[in-house]
Amino acid sequence: MSLDRIDIHPTHRYGDFKLRSGKPFPFGATLVPGGVNFSIFSSHAVSCSLVLFEKHAREPFTEIPFPDEFRIGNVYSMVVFDLDYENLEYGYRMDGPNNFSQGHWFDPSKILLDPYAKNIGGRDVWKVAPDWSNPYQHRGRIAFDDFDWEDDRPLEIPPEDQIIYEMHVRSFTCDPSSGVKENHRGTFAGIQDKIAYLKELGVNAIELMPIYEFDEFENSRPNPETGELLLNYWGYSTVGFFAPKAGYAATGKFGMQIDEFKNLVKELHKNGIEVILDVVFNHTAEGNEKGPTISFRGIDNKTYYMLTPEGYYFNFSGTGNTLNCNNPIVRGMVLDCLRYWAAEYHIDGFRFDLAAILGRDPWGAPLANPPLLESLAFDPILAKCKLIAEAWDAGGLYQVGSFPAFGRWAEWNGKYRDSLRKFLKGDGNVGDVAQRLQGSPDLYATSGRSPATSINFITCHDGFTLMDLVSYNHKHNEANGEGNNDGSNDNDSWNCGWEGPTDDPGINALRRRQIKNAIALLMVSQGVPMLLMGDEMGRTQQGNNNTYCHDNALNWLDWTLLTKEKDIFQFVQHCIAFRKAHPVLRNPDHFRNCDYLGIGYPDISWHGSRAWYVDWASSHHLAFMLSGQHAKQGQQPDDDLYVAINMHWQACWFELPQPTKGKQWHLFANTGVPSPQDSYNPGTEPPLENPQGCLLGGSSRFCVISLTYRGSINLCVLCVFVVPSTRSPERMYLRIHFAHQT
C-alpha cells in the first residue's frame, strides 16, 4: 500500500513538463515535494503563462500556459515537477485589456517579474552593466530557507533605550580607508567586518537605507562636472520588495545574498545591535506613464497603483507613481512582505518612507483610520517589531504628531529637527525647544503616545550632514546635473562665517564645537536619538544636500576622519555612553511636572538665570532639571541632571538649585574647552568647582549638570556653546575668539 502524498503526482503534461494544479497561497515560487509551486494574482488578466530560463540565459527554455482549471478566483497557481530549481529563473507573461483611460496596461510581449520573488537576478554585481538589448532584465529565482539561525531571535530592545545609527550599506565600507577586504567593500559582509566599530561607538540599532532589490542604473546619466556616471545610488525605487539587493552582497554573483544578509543580522544580534530596514511602499521603479513595465504595471496596473479618472498616475511620492496601499490586494502584499522579513530575516523594525501615503485612499484623500496602518499595528507576527513612520509625503500631507498610530507607530520627528536646527544657529526659540527636549509632549502626550514615539534627529540621509550643517548656508548640488534645483532650500543651517571649507582655525574650531553642541542636545533629549552615519567623525558631502545619485566620495565614508576628527568621535562616544548610563534620559512616559513620588523635586523643573524662575516670553536662556529619583517612574533611580542653555551673545550666570544633603555636582562635558577635556567617560567626571552656579559666557552655552552623592563621580555638567546667527557672523566669530584668548 502506497502512502505517498497525492499532491506529488502530476495530473497534466505540457511537452516534457509534468504539472498539477497548485496551491494559491502563498503567492510567489515555493518549493513543494517534487517541484515548485508558482502562484500569482491578477484580477484583470485573461491569460497567464509561466516563462522559465536557465540562469543568465538570454532566451527562455520553455513557456507554460496556465490551464484554465489551474485558476481559482483571480489567482493562477501551478506546480511544475522535476525542475532544476537551483539553476532556474522565471517570470510571467500576461494578456488582457490594454486601455490607458481604463487603467489597463496588459502587453503579452512583456515578461514580468513576480511581485513575490524572494530572490532576484539581473543586477548580481554592483554597477556591472547588463545586456541592455535583453528586454527581461529582472528575473525571479527560487529562495531557500535552510539557513542556520542557531538560537537567534529579534532583540526587542525597549524603544526608549534605542540609539539608532542610519547608514547606507555601500557607503559605510566602500572607501578603501574602511580597512575591510576589497571584495567586502560596500557589502553586507563589509558591515559585519565593522561590527566592532559600531559597538565601540555605542549604538544599539542600525537603520539601513533601502536594501530591497533595485536597479542602480535607473535614470543613470553623466555627471555634468566630471562625466562620471550618476546612478540610482540610494535605492529608493523598489524593483522587488521580498528580495535583498544582490549588488550589496560580496557573494551576490554566486546568488548568495540571502545568506550573507542573514549572517549579518545574526552577528549584529549577537553583539546587541538591532536591524531596522528603511522600506519604500509608496511607489515602485516603474515610474509614470513613460516608465518601464517591469512587474506590477503589466500584472494588474489598476489594482496596484493609484490612478486618476483619466488613467494617469497620482504622484504623491514625487517619483511618478503611487502604490494603492489601501487596496486589499496591495495591503495584503505589504503585510506578507513585512511578515516575511520579520520571520525569515529576524528584522527588528521598519522605517516607512513617505508613510503618509500609506494612509491615503485610492483617490488620494487621507483616511481617518487607514486599514493598512491598522493592520500593521495589530499584526501578530509584527507585534514586537518597531514601526517608524516618515510622517509626510510629497503631496503635502504632513502628519508629525497626528499620524494614525493605533498605539504602535513611532515617527521621524521633523519638528524636532527643525526646532533644534533653528536653536543651534541662534534663533532663540526656547519654548519650542523645551517641548522637543522632553519628548515633544505637545505632539504626543494628549493622545497617549510615549516619548519614544519621537525619533529625534538633527540630520539624516536626506539633507546636509552635520558638518555641512555648520559649514554651508546654501545647498551646492550642481554635481547632480539638475541645475542645483533639487534638494531642499530650507536647511536652517549656518556656516559659522564662511561658506564651505576654510583654513581659518577659529572658524573650524567653531564648527566642531557646533557639531558637539548638536550631539549633546540630541543625547539629552527624551525620545529615541538617531545619528547619521559619519556625523560622529565630521563627514562632509561638500554642501550637497541630496546625494541620491553619487557612487563616489560624496557618499562614501572616509574612515581617515576617525584620526583627523578624533575629538568629535570621542565626544559622540562619551555622549552615547552617558545616555546609556542614565535612565533619567530614557523615560518611557512623559513627565508629569510634579513630585508624584514625594522626594522633594518634581520629575522635571524649569529654571532661568535664577533657580526655579524662567522667562518663556523673550528669553534667550533656559535651564531645566531632571529628578533622578523619578527615572522610569521611580523604577530605576538615577542621579539628578541640570541642563542650562544660554542662547544670548552676552554671558549669563545660572544659579544652580541647591543639592540635597550629601550630594554634589559633577562635570561631564564642556564644548568650550579643547579636547580631551571637553568630555569624560561616565564614572570619571570631576566635581564642579563652584557648586553655587555656572557662568555661561557670551555667544551662548548649554550646560547639563548632574547631582551625585558625595564621593561618587557618576555624572555631569555638560556645557555647550551655541553661536546665534542673528548677529554678524564675523562679529560673532571675533567675540568668541576673543573670549577664548582671554
Rounded CA separation 331/361 (Å): 12
CB 660 within 8 A of CB 708: no
Going by C-alpha positions, the residue among 670, 653, 674, 672 that lies closest to residue 719 is: 670
pLDDT band at 3 (very low <50, low <70, confident <90, very high): low
Residue keyed to cell 547608514: 167
DSSP 8-state symbol, 451: G
Rounded CA separation 76/94 (Å): 11
The helix/strand/coil state of 6 is helix
Which residues have C-beta within 8 Å of that of residue 73, sequence separation ≥ 6? 24
The rounded percent of the chain whose pLDDT value lies above 90 is 82
The helix/strand/coil state of 613 is coil
DSSP 8-state symbol, 686: P
Going by C-alpha positions, the residue among 453, 542, 522, 384 that lies closest to residue 160 is: 453
Rounded CA separation 378/254 (Å): 38
Rounded CA separation 140/695 (Å): 66
Rounded CA separation 472/543 (Å): 6
The rounded percent of the chain whose pLDDT value lies above 70 is 92
Beta strands in 150-224 (DSSP E): 164-167, 205-208, 212-214, 221-222
Going by C-alpha positions, the residue among 521, 538, 552 that lies closest to residue 464 is: 538
Which residues have C-beta within 8 Å of that of residue 16, sequence separation ≥ 6? none
DSSP 8-state symbol, 656: P
Catalytic (active site) residue 565:
no
CA distances from 269 to 199, 201, 262, 273, 705 (A): 12, 16, 11, 5, 34
> pLDDT of 284-301, one tens digit each?
999 999 999 999 999 999
> pLDDT of 362-421, one tens digit each?
999 999 999 999 999 999 999 999 999 999 999 999 999 999 999 999 999 999 999 999
Residue 392: what are its φ and ψ, rounded to 5°? -155, 170
Tell me: pLDDT of 724 over 60: no
CA neighbours closer than 13 Å in the CB half-sphere of residue 282: 30
Rounded CA separation 35/313 (Å): 39
Mean pLDDT of the 526-537 span: 99
pLDDT at 706: 66
Strand partners, 53: 89
Tell me: pLDDT of 729 over 50: no
> For residues 364-395, b (16+ Cβ closer than 10 Å) or e, as one string?
bebeeebbbbbbbbebeebeebbbbbbbbbbb
Rounded to the nearest integer, the mean pLDDT of the chain is 92
pLDDT at 662: 79
Rounded CA separation 538/560 (Å): 11
Mean pLDDT of the 101-121 span: 98
pLDDT at 723: 37
CB 88 within 8 A of CB 120: no
CB 458 within 8 A of CB 516: no
Mean pLDDT of the 654-669 span: 83
Residue 442 burial (CB < 10 Å; 0-12/13-18/19+)? middle
Rounded CA separation 643/16 (Å): 77
Going by C-alpha positions, the residue among 487, 497, 503 that lies closest to residue 541 is: 487
Which residues have C-beta within 8 Å of that of residue 453, sequence separation ≥ 6? 405, 409, 410, 411, 439, 440, 443, 444, 527
Taken in order of first residue, the domains within the chain and their CATH numbers are: 6-141 (2.60.40.10)
DSSP 8-state symbol, 471: T
Higher pLDDT, 666 or 236: 236
Cell of 425: 544657529
Mean pLDDT of the 485-494 span: 97
Instruction: Look up residue 598 and give its amino acid.
Output: G
pLDDT band at 112 (very low <50, low <70, confident <90, very high): very high
> For residues 5-35, b (16+ Cβ closer than 10 Å) or e, as one string?
eebeebeeebeebbbbbbebeebbbbebebb
Going by C-alpha positions, the residue among 52, 272, 5 that lies closest to residue 163 is: 272
Residue 690 burial (CB < 10 Å; 0-12/13-18/19+)? exposed
Catalytic (active site) residue 182:
no
Catalytic choice (166, 216, 260, 353): 353
Going by C-alpha positions, the residue among 676, 703, 679 that lies closest to residue 690 is: 703
pLDDT at 469: 98
Tell me: pLDDT of 622 over 90: no
Beta strands in 82-204 (DSSP E): 88-95, 98-99, 104-105, 119-121, 139-141, 164-167
- Are β-strands 119-121 and 75-81 bridged in parallel, bridged antiparallel, or unpaired? unpaired
pLDDT band at 721 (very low <50, low <70, confident <90, very high): very low
> pLDDT of 183-229, one tens digit each?
999 999 999 999 999 999 999 999 999 999 999 999 999 998 899 99
Instruction: Look up residue 535 and give its amino acid.
Output: D
Catalytic choice (89, 259, 300, 390): 390
pLDDT at 644: 79
Mean pLDDT of the 533-545 span: 99
pLDDT at 700: 44
Going by C-alpha positions, the residue among 265, 240, 80 that lies closest to residue 188 is: 265
Between 433-437, 497-501, 562-566, 718-722, the lowest mean confidence (pLDDT) is in 718-722
- Are β-strands 12-14 and 75-81 bridged in parallel, bridged antiparallel, or unpaired? unpaired
pLDDT at 722: 37
CA neighbours closer than 13 Å in the CB half-sphere of residue 671: 32
pLDDT at 689: 82
> For residues 408-427, b (16+ Cβ closer than 10 Å) or e, as one string?
bbbbbbbbbbbbbbbbbbbb
> pLDDT of 317-336, one tens digit each?
999 999 999 999 999 999 99
pLDDT at 726: 36
Between 5-14, 141-150, 694-703, the lowest mean confidence (pLDDT) is in 694-703
Which residues have C-beta within 8 Å of that of residue 513, sequence separation ≥ 6? 671, 672, 721
Separation of first and last alpha carbons in the chain: 99
Residue 317 burial (CB < 10 Å; 0-12/13-18/19+)? buried
